[in-house]
Amino acid sequence: MNSTIQHLLAAVLLDQTEAKEPQQAALPKAEQEAFGHRVAQLFEYALPLSYLDILGQTDGLDCNGVVLYASRLYTKNERFSLQGFVEANILLRGYQPNRYFLYFAESGMDFYRHNLQTGKFEISARIGGTVFDSFETAEELFTQVLNHILGKYGEEEDDDK
């Protein structure tokens, strides 16, 4: 895991601990491999290592209005559930315009996704699909996801890249 993502993820997990918010356990390596294999079979897609690295620390996040999809759907009780990557993508890609994307996270206004046609990682509007930001690597996308969870947007984002 690159140091920027590691630093940001540690800050997110600390914030969750301090706020006494529910946290997901780390996804064990064997389960990461099984999850990667399932995604490859269903979507013909190799998950980015940076995503698997995050799941290796916490199997999904739901914090400050941003949800990073877990390896599977979690429902702990009526007040807590966490969307799974496969379940979210089956649902989202069922809508014809979304079939060229794989989605990793969402907020009330945005999707964090991989554009399979261009190869770019993007932050887009949930409604209309307007692309706000585009990245060459998954690491850049996940850096933004974690910054957004921490409430950092634009100029005030972590500069330890």
Pick the CATH number of 3-10+22-153 from 3.40.470.10, 3.40.1580.10, 3.40.50.1360, 3.30.450.40: 3.40.1580.10
Q: Would you kindly state where each structural domain of the chain is located, as residue ranges? A: 3-10+22-153
Q: What is the pLDDT of residue 41?
A: 98
Backbone angles phi, psi at 52, to 5 degrees: -65, -35
d(CA 135, CA 76): 34
Q: What is the mean pLDDT of residues 68-83?
A: 82
Quote the crossing angle between the two packed helices 138-149 and 3-18, to the nearest 10°: 20
pTM of the model: 0.92
Q: Which bin fits 56, alpha (ψ -120 to 50), beta or left (φ > 0)?
A: alpha
pLDDT digits (tens, 9 = 90+) for 105-133: 999 999 999 999 999 999 999 988 999 99
Mean pLDDT taken over the chain: 92
* C-alpha distances in Å from residue 29, one per residue of 6, 51, 119: 17, 13, 26
